[in-house]
Amino acid sequence: MFNLPNLFTLARLILAPFIAADILHNRYGRAIVVLFAAGFTDVMDGFLARRLQASTPAGAYFDPIADKILLSVIYISLGAAGAIPWWMVAVVFGRDVLILAMAAYVLLFTPLRRFPPSVWGKISTFFQIAAALVVMGVNAGIPAPVTLALCLMLFGTIVSGLHYAWRGVVLLRQTAH
């Protein structure tokens, strides 16, 4: 279960509370540095899993969970710090709750077991990370287009949620026949 790539995934989980603490204590510059370190662990776990042929079912399962926990912690912290409005945090979480509810339904009531990410899911994740970095950067004194970043994040998150819902309905209809 624990190999080098999986240890990098674990490191990402361990870094999440440090990023939260930095955001909540108005140490945005340090939060950005720790977030980049967490991003490095994400790159390394995938690279090493492929390079060392060390992919494991546990790694495939926990890697996206670690990513989601990291983003969730960042958005909750940004909301708690007053850096973004709570309704934006709710949009990010609403999409995730929708996806989790659909996945739970599919797992419980259908034979489907594979839920590959969509291109919109990847776009949404990119915009969520970029928006968080922009918000943290502005709070660290680095000028950046916050409104644009947050609008793109909201657009990507909403479109991604709708796309996953549509894909879920299509999958359920296919399994019903």
78 & 103 share domain: no
Among candidate residues 70, 61, 74, 96, the one with its CA nearest the CA of residue 11: 70
Highest mean pLDDT: which range of 55-59, 103-107, 160-164:
160-164
Q: How much is the mean pLDDT over the chain?
A: 91
**Structural domain total, the chain:** 2
Provide mean pLDDT across the span 164-175. 86
- Among residues 51, 82, 113, the one where a domain terminates is 82
95 & 67 share domain: no
- Dist CA 8 CA 41 (whole Å): 5
pLDDT for 162 beyond 70: yes
pLDDT for 1 beyond 70: no
- Dist CA 115 CA 99 (whole Å): 10
- Dist CA 27 CA 83 (whole Å): 12
Provide mean pLDDT across the span 97-103. 87
Phi-psi region at 142: left, alpha or beta (left = phi > 0; alpha = psi -120 to 50)? beta
59 & 104 share domain: no
Extract the tokens encoding 80. Answer: 């708690």
88 & 163 share domain: yes
92 & 17 share domain: no
User: Residue for token digits 């949620």?
Assistant: 161
Domain membership of residue 137 as a residue range: 84-177
On the 0-12 / 13-18 / 19+ scale of CB atoms within 10 A, 23 is buried
64 & 90 share domain: no
21 & 75 share domain: yes
- Among residues 53, 82, 111, the one where a domain terminates is 82
Q: Map residue 96 onto helix, strand or coil.
A: helix
Provide mean pLDDT across the span 128-148. 97
98 & 22 share domain: no
Among candidate residues 146, 143, 118, 116, the one with its CA nearest the CA of residue 131: 146
Q: Map residue 25 onto helix, strand or coil.
A: coil
